[in-house]
Structure 1
Amino acid sequence: MKHHALKLYDYHVWANQRLFQHLKALPAEAITEQLNSVFPSVFEALVHIYTVDHVWLFTMRGDSFDKVREAVGRIPEETKGKSIEEMERLFQGASDQYQAFFGQQSDLDALKTYTHPHFGSLEARYADIVQHVVNHGTYHRGNITAMLRQQGLAGVPTDYIFYLFDGNKQ
C-alpha cells in the first residue's frame, strides 16, 4: 500500500496541474495583473509555491541552509517573465525531482534533524515535511482562487476530496 505521504504528494501535484489547466484557459493578464492582495499577482503566488517546494526538497536531501538559500535565491530571476506554460513545466520538473527523492528513500517515517539558524532544530519525519509542503500549496492555491475572484474570474476546485473522487474514476 502506498505511504500516505506519497498519496498526499500526489494530491499536491494533481491540484497544481488542475490549477495550471485552469490558469491557461484565462486571459494572460489575469496571471500578471497587479493586485492589492496576499501576493502582488497570481504569478508571484505561483513563484512562491514553487520556491517553497524547492526549499523543502533541498532540505530533505540534506543540503546546507546556505546552499538552500543560494539555490532558491536564484528562482525569482529564473522564473522572471516565464509564461504560464513554462511555469507549469518548472512545477513538473520539481515534481520529478521529488519523485526521484522519494524513490531513494526506504522509510518516509525515518526521523531527520533539520537545523535553521533562527528557528533552531527540528526532528521530523520525511512524511511530516511532505505534509507541510502539501498544506503550504493548498493554502496558497486558495490565495490564488481569491485573487482570481478579485479580478471577477472563477477559481478551480482543488480540495483533497475532489482529488479522491477524481482518482476513483481512473
Structure 2
Amino acid sequence: MNEHFLRLFDYDQMASRLILTALRDQPPAGEPDRKLTLMMHLLQANHNWLLRVNGRSSDQSDLWPKPEWGAMESLLETNGDGWKTFLTAETDFFRPITYQNQSGATYTNVLADLLAHIINHGTHHRAQIGIYLKESGLEHIPITDYIAYLRLKGPSGGA
C-alpha cells in the first residue's frame, strides 16, 4: 500500500507544481487574486494534514493565509518531502488517526481515508484554479489529470 499512496502523493506534488508554475506565468487579475488564495489554502491544508498524521497540532495554522510566492514554493517542497518520508515509513494504513480540526473539534478517521481526502481536496482546488486561469485568459491550462501523470511515468506508473 505504501507504493500506492507514494504514487498518489507524487502525482499531487506534480499537479500542484504545474498549477503553481501556471499561476506564476499568469499575472494577478485584481486584489485579492482568488487563484493565489486557493493555491495557498490548498498547500496550507495539505501541510496541516501532514502535521496531524504525525501526531502534531495544526491549531495554530491559518487555513487561509495571505498568498506569498516564497511561502507557496516552500510549502510545496516541505509537503512533498514530508509526505514521502511519512508514507515510506508507514506500516498501517488502516490505523485510526485522532486529530482536531481548526475549530477544535476532535475526530478520528482511518489513515487511508484521510489520505484519500487530502488527494481529493487538492484535485478539487486545482480544478477551481484551472477554471479561474481560463477565465483570466490563459489559453492552455496545465494537464493535471492523474491518468496523464501515469502515462508520463510509464507502464509501471511508479513514483
- TM-score tier after normalising by the smaller chain length: 0.7 to 0.9
Within 5 Å, which residues of 2 pair with 1:11-160?
Answer: 11-24=11-24, 26-27=25-26, 29=27, 32-34=28-30, 40-64=33-57, 68-70=58-60, 72-73=61-62, 76=65, 79-80=67-68, 82=69, 87-116=72-101, 120-124=106-110, 126-154=111-139, 155-160=141-146
User: The residue matched to 2:144 in structure 1 has which SS?
Assistant: coil
Normalising by structure 2, we get a TM-score of 0.80
Q: Which runs of 5 or more structure 1 residues have no equivalent in the other structure? A: none
Contact 1:113–1:122, Cα closer than 8 Å, also in 2: yes
**Which of the pair is proportionally richer in helix?**
1
Paired amino acid for 1:161: I
Paired amino acid for 1:19: I
Q: 1:107-161 CA distances to partner (integer Å, 9 max, x unpaired)? A: 223233335566553331x222111111000000001111011112132110111
Paired amino acid for 1:134: I
Q: 1:84-113 CA distances to partner (integer Å, 9 max, x unpaired)? A: xx6234311221122222233222232333
Paired amino acid for 2:39: L
User: The residue matched to 1:114 in structure 2 has which SS?
Assistant: strand
User: The residue matched to 2:30 in structure 1 has which SS?
Assistant: coil
User: The residue matched to 1:157 in structure 2 has which SS?
Assistant: coil
Distance in 2 between the 1:40 and 1:23 partners? Answer: 10
Contact 1:57–1:98, Cα closer than 8 Å, also in 2: yes
Aligned residues, how many?
A: 154
Distance in 2 between the 1:3 and 1:109 partners? Answer: 15
Paired amino acid for 2:48: V
